[in-house]
Amino acid sequence: MKIDVVPTICPYCGCGCGMNLVAKDGKVVGVEPWKRHPVNEGKLCPKGNFAHEFLHRDDRLTTPLIRKDGKLVPATWDEAISLIASKFKEIKATYGPDAMACFASARVTNEENYIMQKFARVALETANIDHCARLCHGTTVAGLAKSLGSGAMTNSIKDIEEAKCVFIIGSNTFEDHPLIARRVARAKKAGATLIVADPRYNMTAKQADLYVQFRSGTDVALINAMMYVILSEGLEDKEFIKNRTKGFDALKEEVMKCPPEWAEPITGVPADTIREMARIYAKSGASSLIYSMGVTQHSTGTDNVLSMSNLAMLTGNIGKRGAGVNPLRGQNNVQGACDMGALPNVVSGYQAVINPELRAKVCGVWGVKDIPGKVGLTIVEVMNAIDEGKMKSLFIMGENPMVSDPDVNHVEHALKAIDFLVVQDIFLTETAELATVVLPAAAYAEKDGTFTNTERRVQLLRPAIAPPGEAKQDWEIICNIAKAMGVAGFDFKSQEEIFEEVRKTTPQYAGMTYERLSKPEALHWPCPDTSHPGTPILHTAKFSHPDGLGIFFGVPFKYQAERPDAEYPFILTTGRLLFHYHTGSMTRRSATLDDEVKTGFVEINTEDAKALGVKNGDKVKVLSRRGEIEIAAKVTPDIMKGIIFIPFHFAECSANKLTIAALDPFAKMPELKVCSAKVEVI
Residues near ligand SF4 (CB under 6 A) are 10, 12-13, 15-17, 40, 44-45, 47-48, 177-179
Nearer to ligand SF4, 33 or 259 (CB): 33
| CA of residue 265 relative to chain centroid, distance | 31
- Closer residue to ligand SF4, CB minimum distance, 178 or 670: 178
Closest contact distance (angstroms) between CB of 287 and ligand SF4 is 23
H or E stretch at 571 = strand 570-575
Closer residue to ligand SF4 (CB): 302 or 590: 590
CB of 29 to ligand SF4, least distance (A): 18
Q: Which helix (H) or strand (E) holds 476?
A: helix 474-484
Q: How far is the CB of 157 from ligand SF4 (least distance, A)?
A: 10
Cα distances (Å, whole numbers) of residue 374 to 125, 270, 393: 11, 47, 19
Question: In the complex, what is the shortest distance from the CB of residue 523 to ligand SF4, in angstroms, rounded to a whole number?
Answer: 18
Q: Of 46 and 528, which CB lies nearer to ligand SF4 in the complex structure? A: 46
CB of 108 to ligand SF4, least distance (A): 16
Nearer to ligand SF4, 581 or 666 (CB): 581
Least distance between ligand SF4 and beta carbon 32 (Å): 13
Query: Alpha-carbon distance 34 to 390, whole Å?
Result: 49
Q: What is the closest distance, in whole angstroms, from the C-beta atom of residue 464 to ligand SF4 in the complex?
A: 16
* Smallest gap from residue 649 Cβ to ligand SF4 (A): 14
Say how far apart CA 664 and CA 638 lie, in whole Å: 29
How far apart CA 117 and CA 113 sit, in angstroms, is 6
**Between vectors from CA 437 to CA 436 and to CA 440, what angle results, nearest 5°?**
150
Specify the residue, 10 or 383, whose C-beta has the smaller distance to ligand SF4. Answer: 10
The contacts of residue 586 (CB under 8 Å, 6+ apart) are 11, 12, 54, 426, 427
Nearer Cβ to ligand SF4 (267/333): 333
Question: Could you tell me the smallest distance in angstroms from the CB atom of residue 566 to ligand SF4?
Answer: 42
Nearest approach, Cβ of residue 48 and ligand SF4 (Å): 2
Q: Which is nearer to ligand SF4, 157 or 415 (CB)?
A: 157
E strands within 293-415?
A: 325-327, 346-347, 351-352, 393-397
- CB closer to ligand SF4, 44 vs 672: 44
CB of 583 to ligand SF4, least distance (A): 15
100 vs 179, beta carbon nearer ligand SF4: 179
CB of 593 to ligand SF4, least distance (A): 10
Over 50-64, what HEC string results? Answer: CCCCCCCCCCECCCC
Longest dimension (CA), the chain: 72
Nearer Cβ to ligand SF4 (21/510): 21
Q: Collapsing DSSP states into helix, strand and coil, what is residue 677? A: strand
In sign, the C-alpha dihedral spanning 188, 136, 552, 272 is negative
* Residues contacting residue 166 through CB under 8 Å, at least 6 positions apart: 160, 184, 187, 188, 192, 193, 194, 195, 287, 288, 290
Q: How far is the CB of 597 from ligand SF4 (least distance, A)?
A: 15
Report CA 347 to chain centroid distance, whole Å: 18
Give the chain's end-to-end CA distance (angstroms, integer): 56
Mapping DSSP onto H, E and C, the string for 428-472 reads CCCCHHHCCEEEEECCHHHCCEEEECCCCEEEEECCCCCCCCCCE
Nearer to ligand SF4, 177 or 188 (CB): 177
Residues near 340 by Cβ (< 8 Å), separated by ≥ 6? 104, 110, 113, 114, 117, 348, 502, 506
Cα separation, 418 vs 409, whole angstroms: 15
Which H helix or E strand runs over 6?
strand 3-9
Position with the least CB separation from ligand SF4: 48
Cα distances (Å, whole numbers) of residue 137 to 78, 81, 188, 305? 38, 33, 27, 10
Q: In whole angstroms, how close is the CB of 177 to ligand SF4 at the nearest point?
A: 6
Nearer of residues 5 and 611 to ligand SF4, judged by Cβ: 5
Closest among 473, 383, 390 to 434, alpha carbons compared? 383
Dihedral (Cα; 324, 328, 333, 336), 10-degree rounding: -30
- Considering beta carbons, is residue 50 or 666 the nearer one to ligand SF4? 50
Which CB atom, from 177 or from 320, has the smaller least distance to ligand SF4? 177
Q: Which is nearer to ligand SF4, 273 or 333 (CB)?
A: 333
Length of the chain: 682
Selection from 495, 475, 485, 472 nearest residue 76 by Cα: 472
**DSSP strand pairing (570-575 vs 449-452):** unpaired
**Based on the number of CB atoms within 10 Å of its own CB, is 491 exposed (0-12), middle (13-18) or buried (19 or more)?**
exposed
Report in angstroms how near the CB of residue 390 gets to ligand SF4 at its nearest. 38
Least gap, CB of 13 to ligand SF4 (angstroms)? 3
Cross-strand partners of 351: 347
Describe the strand order of the beta sheet including 449-452 as a list of residue ranges: 449-452, 457-461, 523-524
